[in-house]
């Protein structure tokens, strides 16, 4: 069966990335169904076009020009089945907006993803960086990921364990980077109350027996206080990962800075707060031309307009260099570079 594809040339992507970076895609296709996605991938393979997959564009740094083909999966159905133990097996397609899924889930009284409210982006991108916030990561509820291999056109379902999830990390940033398109997620949620309120002051913002919606609303309120809304001020959320250092280095830093936030990890390393390190370098709220460090959360870089990927990367390098010089800690970037 042949599938009609609407190929768009020189498509402007500035409004399709939350950093608002100027970018023109040489070719662009909205894939409204898995069949159209497979056809678009086959077309790119045949023509030898480099392929870029675009989701919500919320964790991506786009260059001024993307050659080859940009494809955006927009299919967004979801359904679920209930198992005997009160488990909700939820399947959602890649193009669904993540926050819309969280709200649909809490509206039904399901537990599992309420702490991940208001994270921008599409569901298909969520496993790539293993989205996480307020003590919960996608990996905690993810049963499996459905994907399409670009080279063979073969569909596969990877179990959560096979996705090799880590902090802001997965196989999709490693061995499978640029080799697959995620088409759907299978999550296991629950009707049994299971609030996770251990992070920050989340517990003080809800009642003793909160509903999943109460928790999601508290998370939304906290995020709105600290994080800029991309619709008002372009940004990609955290620009750097929180660095992991040795216990020895953390001890050494704590001698000078006893108030430094630090979180011991199961593997013996210690996670530091990149936002705090940047803040302590006196960089919170600084602005250099088109780009700045957000004035309420130093981990977020903002774009005031008129800049491009090159300018953003230079600004980020300046911040990382300041942290390295002051604390001897290397910061690594969170959003991925496209193209």
Catalytically active residues are 168, 238, 334
**Site mask for ligand EPU (CB under 6 A), range 228-267, x = bound:** ---------xx--xx------------------x------
Closest CA to 205 of 228, 222, 193: 222
Position closest to ligand EPU via CB = 237
Stretch that binds ligand EPU, among 143-151, 152-160, 276-284, 304-312 (CB under 6 A): 276-284
CB of 34 to ligand EPU, least distance (A): 28
Is 297 a binding residue for ligand EPU by CB under 6 A? The answer is yes
Total site size for ligand EPU, rule CB under 6 A: 20
Q: What crossing angle do the helices spanning 98-107 and 212-226 adopt, rounded to 10°? A: 150
**Site mask for ligand EPU (CB under 6 A), range 307-336, x = bound:** ---------------------------x--
- Is residue 89 classed exposed, middle or buried when 0-12, 13-18 and 19+ CB atoms within 10 A define those classes? middle
Stretch that binds ligand EPU, among 12-20, 25-33, 176-184, 270-278 (CB under 6 A): 270-278
Considering all CA atoms of the chain, what is the largest pairwise distance in Å, rounded to the nearest integer? 68
Is 165 a binding residue for ligand EPU by CB under 6 A? The answer is no
CB of 125 to ligand EPU, least distance (A): 12
- Is residue 154 classed exposed, middle or buried when 0-12, 13-18 and 19+ CB atoms within 10 A define those classes? exposed
Q: Out of 117, 202, 216, 298, point to the residue binding ligand EPU (CB under 6 A).
A: 298
* Token pair in block for residue 128: 């790539």
* Token pair in block for residue 161: 């364990």
Closest CA to 71 of 52, 97, 58: 52
The 3-state secondary structure of 133-199, one letter per residue:
ECCEEHHHCEEEEEEEECCCCCEEEEECHHHCCECCECCCCCCCCCCEEEEEEEEEEECCCCCCCCC
Stretch that binds ligand EPU, among 11-19, 40-48, 206-214, 273-281 (CB under 6 A): 273-281
CB of 97 to ligand EPU, least distance (A): 16
Is 98 a binding residue for ligand EPU by CB under 6 A? The answer is no
Report 192-211 residues binding ligand EPU (CB under 6 A): 199-200
In eight-state DSSP terms, residue 27 is E
Between 261 and 306, name the residue whose CB sits nearer to ligand EPU.
Answer: 261
**Site mask for ligand EPU (CB under 6 A), range 106-145, x = bound:** ---------------------------xx-----------
Going by their DSSP bridges, the two strands 60-61 and 336-337 should be labelled as: parallel
The answer to whether the beta carbons of residues 226 and 246 sit under 8 Å apart is no
Strand partners, 291: 288, 303
Which spans of this chain sit near ligand EPU (rule: CB under 6 A)? Answer: 133-134, 199-200, 226-227, 237-238, 241-242, 261, 273, 275-276, 279, 284, 297-299, 334
């Amino acid at each position: 069966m042949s599938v009609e594809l609407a190929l768009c040339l020189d498509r402007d992507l500035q409004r399709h990335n939350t950093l608002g970076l100027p970018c023109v895609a040489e070719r662009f296709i909205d894939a409204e169904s898995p069949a159209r996605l497979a056809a678009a991938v086959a077309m790119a393979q045949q023509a030898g076009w480099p392929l870029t997959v675009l989701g919500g564009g919320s964790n991506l740094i786009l260059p001024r020009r993307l050659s080859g083909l940009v494809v955006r999966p927009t299919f967004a159905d979801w359904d679920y089945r209930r198992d005997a133990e009160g488990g909700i097996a939820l399947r959602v397609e890649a193009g669904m907006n993540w926050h819309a899924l969280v709200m649909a889930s809490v509206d039904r009284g399901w537990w599992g993803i309420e702490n991940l409210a208001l994270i921008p982006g599409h569901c298909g991108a969520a496993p790539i960086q293993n989205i996480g916030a307020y003590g919960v990561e996608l990996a905690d509820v993810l049963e499996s990921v459905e994907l399409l291999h670009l080279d063979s056109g073969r569909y596969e379902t990877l179990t959560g364990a096979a996705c090799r999830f880590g902090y802001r990390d997965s196989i999709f940033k490693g061995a499978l980077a640029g080799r697959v398109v995620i088409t759907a997620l299978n999550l296991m949620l629950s009707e049994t109350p299971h609030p996770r309120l251990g992070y920050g002051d989340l517990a003080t913002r809800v009642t003793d027996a909160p509903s999943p919606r109460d928790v999601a609303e508290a998370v939304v309120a906290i995020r709105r206080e600290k994080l800029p809304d991309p619709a008002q001020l372009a940004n990609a959320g955290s620009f750097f990962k929180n660095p992991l250092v040795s216990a020895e280095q953390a001890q050494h830093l704590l001698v000078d800075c006893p108030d430094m936030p630090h979180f011991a990890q199961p593997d013996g390393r210690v996670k530091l707060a990149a936002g705090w390190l940047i803040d302590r370098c006196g960089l919170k709220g600084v602005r250099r031309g088109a780009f700045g460090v957000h004035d309420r959360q130093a981990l977020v870089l903002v774009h005031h307009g008129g800049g491009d990927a090159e300018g953003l990367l230079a600004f980020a390098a300046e911040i990382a260099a300041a942290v390295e010089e002051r604390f001897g800690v290397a910061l690594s970037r969170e959003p991925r570079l496209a193209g």
